[in-house]
Amino acid sequence: MEKPELELLFEKQLRQHNGAEIKLLDSTGAEVATLAKKDPVDGHNIQLTIDRDVQDSLYGQLKKDAGTAVAIDPRNGDILGLVSAPSYNPNDFVLGISSSEYQKLSNDQQHPLRNRFTAASTPGSTFKPLTAAIALTHKAMNPDAKVAINGNKWQASSSWGDYYVTRVNHDANVNLETALFKSDNIYFAQAALKIGGSAFASDANKFGFGESLPIEFPMRKSTISNDGKLNDQGLLANTGYGQGQVSVTPLHLSLIYSALVNDGSMIKPRLVKTNDAPTFWKKNVMSADTAKLLNKDLIQVVANPSGTAHDAQINGLTLAGKTGTPEFKQKQGESGRENGWFTAYNTDDPKLLVTMVVENTQKKAAVTM
């Protein structure tokens, strides 16, 4: 679809209203009196929170790929960047684009007319901190306890048939920290089953799943499953590590991660610059202790040499984050399409939180699940 213009979204605020006068004239055309007058009203100025340098930097990272990126200030909710790539020159549409040029854009296999940052899709392992937060809330997980997991595939029972949850870089004994920085699917699948489908789905709603984001720009709703329920055991297990039917927008995922730097509360996003104090969209979605613990463990995703995002480490800057590689295929064991997700933020002065999605990473050195 063609991307909506910001001018259209803020039409009521930006548009000026014309004035008018009704005057009484004599037979010579001279003005005798003013019968009615309405003064013109200027439109309101609007300053967006978008930071041009951040926007340009994000697009520069994606310009060779198809994907999307969102940047926010997690302390106040300011949206600093919203990028969909590849893009097109909107000036081409101002005076009318030729049919051949429009067809070229429409038929481009990378879909430059698609607005990717408004779409919800499978987040893969970037979803695991949310599973951990819900499990810790329900005491379905002891973060320090070593969970014995043998091998690289697991199923809850023989009723799963030929289906298994699989993992890579496995350890025989796994705690929460290791499961996060090595991204252990089996650990989080088991955690989801301990939480239970009803509790998991209910708590996901507390994070805003099934709701519209509180922002002027239209975004798809994130969903925990197609029907909002997690009654099937296999679906519940897959949801625990961000597969199954779960879908989330990059902005919504960023807001979930903002709870890790706001003592457990999700910041309310802002697209229009304001002097108003920041507010929270969802308060106390997790305890302050849980937020602190997850923040500490997610630092190891980048800092630990075995962490899936260790390549993103920057000397002198402490980053926390999570990678994800959702897979799209018809049957387990087959090769298929993959996307690479990465959410990261600086922890010492958390003023920038970025979520980036690169499509079709199976063609590249894919981000590790």
Q: Are 75 and 262 in contact (CB under 8 A)?
A: yes
Q: How far is CA 143 from CA 12, 99, 192, 291, 366, in A?
A: 51, 59, 14, 13, 28
Q: How far is CA 256 from CA 133, 156, 316, in A?
A: 11, 29, 26
Question: Which residues does the annotation mark as catalytic?
Answer: 125
- Helix 250-258 and helix 128-137, axial crossing angle in degrees, nearest 10: 40
The pair of three-digit structure tokens given for residue 341, joined into one six-digit string: 């997700």
| Of the candidates 257, 297, 293, 294, the residue with the CA atom closest to the CA atom of residue 177 | 297
Look up residue 258 and give its amino acid: S
Look up residue 33 and give its amino acid: A
| Of the candidates 363, 359, 314, 365, the residue with the CA atom closest to the CA atom of residue 341 | 359
